[in-house]
Amino acid sequence: MDNISISATIVTYNDGKKALSAVKSIIENTKKYPLTLYVFDNGSSDETVSLINDNTSVKVFENGKNIGFGAAHNLVLKQEMGKYHFVINPDIFVSDDVLSDMVDFMEENKDVVMCMPKILNTDGTEQKLPKEKPTFKRLFLGRLSKSIRGEYIWQNKELSLPTEIDFCSGCFFCIRTDVFKKIGGFDKRFFMYLEDADLTQTAKSCGKVMILPQFSVIHEWDRASAKSIKYLFIHTVSCLKFLFKRRKPI
């Protein structure tokens, strides 16, 4: 395992203080394997770029405009990448060497191509995120029915062992770089939302996708689509794109 290296990307958009905290926590805690961390800024109008440039040695790439979540993360494909690559939200905080721990797991389990840790709220409770493949019922009726939503996010399941999932959250995951390159990264037609579910479905053609509940990170989740008509519209469009792309052939 001596020659293993890690790369990671964070895409920022007007979230300077959170992004700086995320960058620092990742750099300070990733110790076992060498890490190359890239920050791609989607045209922030706040102090994001200057904050990160002034307080870290991370290279920041300025896109000049908001090109979307997946498209911005895909820019790393033109850069030097490690054997394993992490996609990380700017509102993530890590307190231990979770990146190396996840890499060790994947080194020991060659059939796993993509994985995520347990995601925690800032109060330490588990953040229940989707784990089943999105369907019309889960995406739309789940907003109206607690039982449907509960099925989608495994509300009543307490996981203690690595478990296969159909939806790996884009807030924090690890993917084998050769697989990420093979499938061409994210489908950039998804501006925001469901690009992670789509990537998961494609990655599953190459191997297993798992949640590793023995590892965890903190996610300061904003849930923009639940608070903003604009983001709700973007979310709805992405849901329809996913369902159309992943529809079963007649």
pLDDT in tens, 22-38: 999 999 999 999 999 99
Q: Could you tell me whether strands 208-219 and 163-164 are parallel, antiparallel, or unpaired per DSSP bridges?
A: antiparallel
Q: Provide the number of structural domains found in the chain.
A: 1
Which pLDDT band, with edges at 50, 70 and 90, does 237 fall under? very high
Is residue 155's pLDDT more than 80? yes
**Integer Cα distance of 243 and 109 in angstroms:** 31
Would you say residue 24 lies in a domain? yes
In a domain, 25, yes or no: yes
pLDDT of residue 126: 94
Whether 45 maps to a domain, the answer reads: yes
**CATH, residue 160:** 3.90.550.10
197 vs 151: CA distance, rounded Å: 16
Could you tell me the residue range of the domain that residue 179 belongs to? Answer: 6-245
Q: Would 123 be classed as within a structural domain?
A: yes
Is residue 1 assigned to a domain? no
Is pLDDT of 164 > 50?
Answer: yes
pLDDT greater than 60 at residue 1: no
Q: Is residue 210 part of a domain?
A: yes
pLDDT higher than threshold 60 for residue 227: no
Whole-number Cα distances in Å, 56 to 8, 10, 22: 15, 14, 11
* 250 found inside a domain: no
Span 61-103, pLDDT tens digits: 999 999 999 999 999 999 999 999 999 999 999 999 999 999 9
Helices 195-203, 229-245: inter-axial angle, 10-degree rounding: 20
Residue 54 has pLDDT above 60, yes or no: yes
Q: Please say if the pLDDT value at position 2 is more than 80.
A: no
Query: Is the Cβ–Cβ distance between 237 and 189 less than 8 Å?
Result: no
Amino acid identity of 20? L
pLDDT in tens, 198-208: 999 999 999 99
Residue 107 lies in a domain: yes
The mean pLDDT of the chain is: 93
